[in-house]
Chain A
Amino acid sequence: MDSRRKGIRNDVNVSELAFEAVKPALEDAGLTAKEIGFVALGSAGAGAWYEELLPAVVTSEYCGLTGAGLVRCEAACASGSAAFFAAYSAVACGQAEIAMALGVEKMREIDTQTAMEWIGRAGYYLWEFHNFGLTFPAYYALYANAYMARYGATEEDLALVGVKNHKYAAMNPVAHLQNRITVDDVLSSMVIASPLKLYDCSPMTDGSACVIVGSEEKVRELKIDAPVWVAAIGYSSGTANLSKRADFLSLDASVLASQRAYKAAGLQPEQLDFAEVHDCFTIAEILAYEDLGFCGKGEGVKFLREGQTEIGGRIPVNVDGGLKAKGHPIGATGCSMIYELTKQLREEAVEKSRQVPLKNYVGLAHNVGGTGHYCYVTILRR
């Protein structure tokens, strides 16, 4: 398991970036590539923002994984979690003893405007992009304005999410944006899609992350010293057209996916020690607090302002900087969340200043694809 420095990585191509995560993951597990029975690659922009159409094939060859069962998983920004689910499933159903989930994304080989074009098309192209030119920030801005109108939240409230996540990213040496910011920095940054401004948005990031999954039997046989177990994976989806959503105050896919995960794990949200949530935009983190049951509906801003999602609060959230500041290499993000959960649960190698206190040794990763188009909630325990 490993996750490398994220940012603008024009020094490496997609295969070389994948290798940076695969090598230390195999070394950490004490395995060779030949022992991996199944590989699921999460990547969303193949052929669009980077040149390879079949990234699973090229990265596998480059990393010596050829011969394993192979698939690319696309679930937009949740592709990494979808890949993790595929790898987990391969092991859980007994088809593979050891499987790999590899997330990789190269977003900085094209100009920003073209990237906005591609990601804007990632909804329902025909009905919501073709005539109307929606962008990814705009989809979430629709939620932000509805939420602010309904609950009286302000742009300053949203900015506080950015301030918190940049604070933790400054303690994370692999984060893309390691600068601390203030509410004024957010409010004075340029408007992207009102009310969202530049510092309300996660950056376009290159990155990779790799997770190795093994059966309980195999993990014991290999004498893995600090295994972390999958307690549950919950999933759901939302309509392609935003115009078909019941309201713009929560993401139904997040609500359903988390309820399924809690039920399968036999856990309540109060029992989680910490969480990684999908903060592609500041509003998204506030919605996540509510959708995942960390606080009541409409109470997300209060919960944030009370410091309940900081270390020392009720449930620390995104203490690696989140998508907002750690960066959001779309297809790698899900695997990067699993990486962070694992590091925290092992109480190892995470900078001491941002190690969360563990009581139940349980963490949750919430990974949304698109604008609530896909959702995966993964609960890990030590």
Chain B
Amino acid sequence: MSSASMPAIKSKPVTVSQDIPVSKTLRFWEGLKEGKIYATKCCQCGSLYFPPAADCANCLSTKVEWVELSSEAEIETFTHIVVRPTSFSQRKPYTVAIGKLKEGVKVLAWLTGFKLSQVKVGMKAKLVAKVSSDAELSYEFVPLDKSEG
């Protein structure tokens, strides 16, 4: 039985785009424009947060400081996404990886500049800030020998 042949009425369309507040993590987003990747560190218990958090889930302190992260990461896992969601449908298929930095925090980001067949669990990559041509702020993993900027 073909579902397309079933009678139906169209619901009213709605387009949604929320304004996500970034006041408390502004230093992080501003840092990306300067090519820096910041984490937060709790002033009371020393817990390190990436993604950055303005509040400490460990000790409930609301006093945190900004610390710049190192860039060398060990890739713990990855996937190459072929079937994309609507908002990424204009992009080519992309690779996502999770890498661990020497500070102990992990980062999930796109991995670019590698041939897919070269990507392996355990390999090294460099985490860099990225500002796209349409001014979207992000960060990604790239080969170690790729110079910054």
Contact = CB atoms under 8 A, between A and B. Distances in A.
Nearest to A128: B108
Contacts of B108: 127-128, 132, 134, 241-243
A116 B139 CA distance: 23
Contact of B87 (A117, A241, A245): A117
Contact size range, B? 35 or more
A138 interface: yes
Contact of B84 (A135, A150, A247): A135
Interface string B106-127: 1111100000100011100000
A72 B30 CA distance: 40
B11 interface: yes
Contact of A131 (B76, B120, B136): B136
Given A143-B77, A193-B81, A116 B86 contact: yes
Nearest to A196: B79
Interface in B79-136: 79-89, 91, 94, 96, 98, 105-110, 116, 120-122, 136
Contacts of A193: 79-83
B77 A142 contact: yes
Contacts of A241: 51, 108
Contacts of B87: 117, 133
B61 to A, nearest CB: 19
A382 B87 CA distance: 49
Contacts of A138: 79, 81, 96
B138 interface: yes
B58 interface: no
Given A11-B6, A146-B76, A248-B77, A191 B110 contact: no
B8 A135 contact: no
Interface in B29-86: 50-51, 76-86
A140 B105 CA distance: 21
Interface in A92-136: 108-109, 113-114, 116-117, 120, 124, 126-128, 130-135
A128 B106 CA distance: 12
A149 B83 contact: no
A145 B77 contact: yes
Among B20, B77, B79, B87, chain A packs the most CB atoms within 10 A around the CB of B79
A241 B83 CA distance: 21
Contacts of B147: none
A141 B79 contact: yes
A359 to B, nearest CB: 39
Contacts of A196: 79
B3 interface: yes
Nearest to B84: A133
Contacts of B83: 116, 135, 137, 190, 192-193
A268 interface: no
A8 interface: yes
B82 to A, nearest CB: 5
A223 B108 CA distance: 55
Among B77, B106, B110, chain A packs the most CB atoms within 10 A around the CB of B77
A244 interface: yes
17 contacts: A11-B1, A113-B85, A116-B85, A117-B85, A127-B51, A131-B110, A132-B109, A133-B81, A133-B87, A137-B83, A138-B81, A144-B79, A145-B78, A149-B120, A149-B122, A241-B51, A241-B108
Interface of A: 8, 10-11, 51, 108-109, 113-114, 116-117, 120, 124, 126-128, 130-135, 137-138, 141-146, 149-150, 190-196, 241-245, 247-248
Report the 6 A-B pairs with minimum CB-CB distance, sorted nearest first. A141-B79, A149-B121, A133-B88, A117-B85, A146-B77, A10-B3
Given A135-B83, A138-B96, A191-B82, 5 more contacts: A10-B3, A113-B86, A117-B87, A132-B110, A248-B76
